[in-house]
Amino acid sequence: MSDHHVINSRARRVDTPAKATGRAVYVDDISRPNMLYGALLQSPIAHAKIISIDTSAAEKLPGVKCVVTSKEAGLVKYGVSPARYDETVFCHDKVRYVGDEIAAVAAIDRETAEKAVELIKVEFEPLPVLLTIEDAMAEDAPLLHEKYPRNITGEVHQEFGDVAAAFKECDLIKTTTVKNKRQDGGFIEPQGCIAEVDLAGNLTLTSSTQSPHYIQRTVAMVLGLDIGKVRVVKAYVGAGFGPKAGTNPMELACCLMALKTKRPVKMNYSREQVFLFCRARHAFTHKITIGVKKDGTLMALEHECHLDGGAYASFGPATVYYAGSLLAGPYKLPNMKYDGYRIYTNKPACGAQRGHGAVIARAAFEQQLDMIAEELGIDPLELRQKNMMETGDTTCNDLNMSSFGMAECLNAVTEGSDWKSKKGQLPPGKGIGLACGFFVSGAGFPIYRSDTYHGTVMIKLTEDGGTVLVYTASAEIGQGSDTTFAMIAAEGLGVPLEYVRLASGDTDMGVDLGAYSSRQTLMTGHATKEAAEDVKRQVLEVLSDELDVPVDTIDIVNGRIVFDRPVDFSGLRTRYIKEHRGWTDNPESDYFTFKEASRIAYLKKGTIVGTGKYKPHFLGGTYKGAAVGTSPAYGCSAQVAEVDVDLETGQITITQIVDAHDCGKAINRTSVEGQMQGSISMGIGEAMHEEVKFDAKGNVINNDFAEYKMVTALDMPPVDAIVVETDEPNGPYGAKEVGEGAIMPTIPAILNAVYDATGVRFYELPLTPERVFEELQKKKG
């Protein structure tokens, strides 16, 4: 049984009754009096110079209130990482992909705005369209952005240890190249926003964002506004998975038009526009060479990766680092060399998506481990166990595993799947595969270099009644963070969860970097715990003073004041009751209640407010790029997939997945399982079906959910999600990530299972029946 009263349970989430009843308000559910509707003009061609833009016909259309282009928006560059700012609100000299924003219109209704957009005339001079890495890196290729020779947005060259020397000591060196395809975020709520300006000139942007903080800074910077007058509020958000973490041009255009018209402006992406904005998973090509000794000891990794990035940097410069740095674990690997290149192409920009940068690298690595195991005649489970890192180990690139329940995860999935009796024993067409992975619990630095706290939390006790109000700027986007922080606040203060009311996702509430890189449970969790303990201390100090007992002899447990000795609190109770003459719910309990204590504390000190904050300590790594990969803690996981392959048609059915994830201390066990199951479904989608496809002109040809195939309830196998707990010293109550790490083993576990079933290795995703059929035919010869 848990030592805790609130956390480490299966609490009902605080936000889901509203979601279950349709009462939860998402951006598009909001309407304001006098509201205008905005629409964007996006480029119909992938690469061209802009010769002229004529908005006169659009401006004359009745009902149009505002037309803006780069003339009105200015040319302040923005993006994700300040060193790579390469976007402006609107294109002015050229367009770089089909969908690049050229102008926006605000009108009295959506139809008028869309009609006005069609009336804007743009004259283009076409440029060569670069759709592949090879074309974009060619010597004579035109540059998408003048600053970046050979269209390289980001380049990484790292070596830890001495790979060449280590390879000389190896008995087996193996090289494979693995490719995936561009994956879309696939969140069900398209991005939307509403901007409004009050009479004092304060701008409020309500948006479906994963990071109100970053959007606030970008809006202020790009539009030249005093940041004190910019407030960004997150409505309920219909998930994000990464693509909603950066500012989108619609948010900026919407703010600009609200400022110009002095009326609220609402905008939405259509589903097609979600595909055009993209900022989702890159297409990676990983060339991986692993060297081992004949007993299976891992010696060295040489790794080269190319990322097809699309037309802007977005999170890409971080992605190219993650694609390399997160191969340094979860196995002991003393030598690692990495060369990464992120390339501009004339396609929508890619960015961060669940498992940022590391998912395909992990797939390539884990598949190759199985190939090495086979060549050495070692069971793939044993090979992994032999090389597995343990708690306290540090990778060659300085990632410290301050807790690491990898061995427990491996045991859990192999027992849970009956691995030992199945591996090597299944009939042709049936297969079982294993893989592992790990991921960060937040990054060491904000995306802009700063000494800022990564999260601040304020907790206030209501002046009467002892209700605990928690204010955090963190972003609940579906993962359950509001409930997590309400639970941590209740635990830290010693009250039941029902006493807590939480508000989040508003830049007026403090600083929080938002929902990305699996950071919030650890980081915002720390700040919440600190704020709760601050409030508790203040209440206990007042009681100590009033009752003349030492403060360290008093505690708050389950909403009751607990003393370690008999204490007469009748005087305080009388004072409380006198404050509430005529009330029918005055306390009669034989214990002093938190409600009474919080009132007494208020009478003595005024409003009781506690604050908490968090930023990571120095996390190690002094080399260039050390900030991408170092984290206060790492979650880790193992998965076993079982598949059934039709050897005639190539149709693969995944029949079961057993997953174990070490999340440190589980704050809400149900939510932890939900993150594991959701991660697996996204991994299965990428392994089996998902691919954003382009025609020769750079148009997305499957920009809807009919042709872009995501996992349905019929595709999803049963998932056994096993929560493994360790005590993470750097996490609040020992908690660390689960939101992204759980996707790491999914693709390679499937690849290894398909090989077990068919004897065929696949080096390109997704595993469509066509691709599998062709390879099976080749094998038959």
Query: For residue 655, which phi and psi values (nearest 5 degrees)?
Result: -95, -25
Q: One symbol per residue from 40 to 59: x for binding another protein (CB under 8 A), - otherwise; what is it?
A: --------------------
Instruction: Give me the 258-297 binding string for another protein, x by CB under 8 A, dash otherwise.
Output: ------------xx--------------------------
CB of 183 to another protein, least distance (A): 11
Contact flag: residue 718 with another protein (CB under 8 A):
yes
Q: How many amino acids of this chain bind another protein (CB under 8 A)?
A: 57
DSSP 121-136: EEEEEE-----SHHHH
The CA-atom distances, in angstroms, between 637 and each of 261, 434, 662, 664 are 52, 11, 6, 11
- Residue with smaller CB distance to another protein, 369 or 688: 688
* Shortest spacing between CB 573 and another protein, in angstroms: 35
Distance from C-alpha of 711 to C-alpha of 184, rounded to nearest angstrom: 13
753 counts as binding another protein under rule CB under 8 A: no
Which residue, 185 or 291, is less far from another protein as judged by CB?
A: 185
User: What order do you get walking across the sheet with 719-724 strand by strand?
Assistant: 430-440, 634-645, 652-662, 719-724
Q: Applying CB under 8 A, which part among 13-21, 219-227, 333-341, 457-465 lies near another protein?
A: 13-21
13 counts as binding another protein under rule CB under 8 A: yes
List 154, 190, 330, 732, residue binding another protein (CB under 8 A) = 190
> Any contact of residue 671 with another protein (CB under 8 A)?
yes
Site string for another protein, 225-244 (x = CB under 8 A): -----------xxxx-x---
Q: Which of 154, 186, 437, 442 binds another protein (CB under 8 A)?
A: 186
Instruction: Pick the closer one to another protein by CB: 481 or 630.
Output: 481
Distance (Å, rounded) from C-alpha 367 to C-alpha 380? 10
Terminal-residue alpha carbon distance, the chain: 59
Residue from 97, 160, 187, 284 in contact with another protein (CB under 8 A):
187
Q: Which is nearer to another protein, 31 or 589 (CB)?
A: 31
Region of 1-9, 463-471, 614-622, 709-717 interacting with another protein (CB under 8 A)? 709-717
In the complex, the smallest distance separating the C-beta of residue 170 from another protein, rounded to whole angstroms, is 39
Q: Which stretch binds another protein (CB under 8 A): 456-464, 476-484, 562-570, 727-735?
A: 476-484
Q: How far apart are CA 479 and CA 737, in angstroms?
A: 11
Pairwise CA distance, residues 215 & 209, whole Å = 8
Cα–Cα distances in Å, from 651 out to 118, 430, 689, 758, 771?
Answer: 44, 12, 12, 12, 10
**Judged by CB, which is closer to another protein: 25, or 165?**
25
Quick one: which of 22, 33, 228, 606 contacts another protein (CB under 8 A)? Answer: 22
Q: How far is the CB of 20 from another protein (least distance, A)?
A: 4
Identify which range of 317-325, 557-565, 705-713, 765-773 contacts another protein by CB under 8 A: 705-713
Is the CB of 635 or the CB of 674 nearer to another protein? 674
Task: State which residue, 97 or 236, has the beta carbon closest to another protein.
Answer: 236
Residues 2, 177, 450, 712: which binds another protein (CB under 8 A)? 712
Q: Which of residues 374-393 bind another protein (CB under 8 A)?
A: none
**Binding range to another protein, per CB under 8 A, among 35-43, 185-193, 364-372, 530-538:** 185-193
Nearest Cα to Cα of residue 257 among 115, 119, 113, 92: 113
Q: Which stretch in 15-23, 58-66, 405-413, 559-567 sits in contact with another protein by CB under 8 A? A: 15-23
For residue 713, the minimal CB distance to another protein (Å) is 4
Token representation of residue 537: 């201390």
Candidate list 297, 670, 699, 768; residue touching another protein; CB under 8 A: 670
List residues bridging with 158 in a β-sheet. Answer: 338
DSSP H or E segment with residue 556 = strand 554-557
| Residue 123 binds to another protein (criterion: CB under 8 A) | no
Quote the crossing angle between the two packed helices 520-547 and 594-605, to the nearest 10°.
80
Which residues lie below 8 Å from residue 197, measured CB to CB, with a gap of 6+?
Answer: 203, 204, 258, 259, 262
Per CB under 8 A, 15 contacts another protein: yes
Which candidate, 463, 742, 405, places its Cα nearest to that of 600?
463
Please identify which residue in 559, 612, 678, 698 interacts with another protein, judged by CB under 8 A: 678
In the sheet that 121-126 helps form, which strands lie side by side, from edge to edge?
94-95, 48-54, 121-126
Answer for the pair 746, 641: CB distance below 8 angstroms, yes or no.
Answer: yes
Among 95, 122, 205, 721, binds another protein (CB under 8 A): 721
- Could you give the CA distance from residue 742 to residue 638 in angstroms, rounded to a whole number? 8
Nearest to 751 by CA among 683, 677, 679, 661: 683
Cβ distance 291 to 300 under 8 Å? yes
Asked if 498 is part of the footprint of another protein (rule: CB under 8 A), the reply reads no
Question: Residue 41: which H helix or E strand, with range?
Answer: strand 36-42
Q: Tell me the three state secondary structure of residue 482.
A: helix
Question: Measured between alpha carbons, how far is 213 from 293 in angstroms, rounded to an integer?
Answer: 49
Q: Report, in angstroms and rounded to the nearest whole number, the Rg of the chain calculated over CA atoms.
A: 28
Kindly state whether residue 10 participates in binding another protein, applying the rule CB under 8 A. Answer: yes
CB of 588: closest distance to another protein in angstroms?
A: 29
Supply the minimum distance, in Å, between the C-beta of residue 174 and another protein. 33
Burial 583-612 (b: 16+ CB within 10 A, else e): eeeeeeeeebbbbbbbbbbbeeeeebbbbb
The binding track of 141-180 with respect to another protein, each residue x by CB under 8 A or -, is ----------------------------------------
Cβ proximity to another protein: between 538 and 703 the closer is: 703
Neighbours of 318 (CB within 10 A): 27
In the complex with another protein, which residue's Cβ is closer, 623 or 705? 705
Least separation in angstroms between residue 544's CB and another protein is 40
26 binds another protein (CB under 8 A): yes
Nearer to another protein, 673 or 728 (CB): 673
Q: In what order do the strands lie in the sheet with 36-42?
A: 64-68, 101-107, 36-42, 265-268, 192-197, 203-207, 230-234
> Does 17 participate in binding another protein (rule CB under 8 A)?
yes
C-alpha span between 90 and 94 (Å, rounded): 10
Strands 455-461 and 609-614: antiparallel
Restricting to residues 572-601, which ones interact with another protein according to CB under 8 A? none
Nearest CA to 672 out of 481, 415, 466, 386 is that of 481
714 binds another protein (CB under 8 A): yes
| Of the candidate residues 20, 138, 557, 701, the single one contacting another protein (CB under 8 A) | 20
Residue 329 binding another protein, by CB under 8 A? no
Task: Indicate which single residue of 1, 3, 31, 781 sits in contact with another protein (rule: CB under 8 A).
Answer: 31
Cα–Cα distance measured from residue 592 to residue 546, given in angstroms and rounded to the nearest whole number: 13
Pick from 479, 517, 524, 730 the residue near another protein by CB under 8 A. 479
Cβ pair 559, 499 in contact under 8 A: yes
Angle between helices 570-578 and 594-605 (to 10 degrees): 80
Minimum CB separation from another protein for residue 213, in Å? 20
Q: Are 274 and 184 in contact (CB under 8 A)?
A: yes
Is 23 a binding residue for another protein by CB under 8 A? The answer is yes
Report the residue from 273, 417, 681, 752 that binds another protein according to the rule CB under 8 A.
681
Which chain residues interact with another protein by CB under 8 A? 10, 12-13, 15-26, 28-29, 31, 185-190, 236-239, 241, 270-271, 477-480, 670-671, 673-674, 677-682, 704-706, 710-714, 716, 718-719, 721
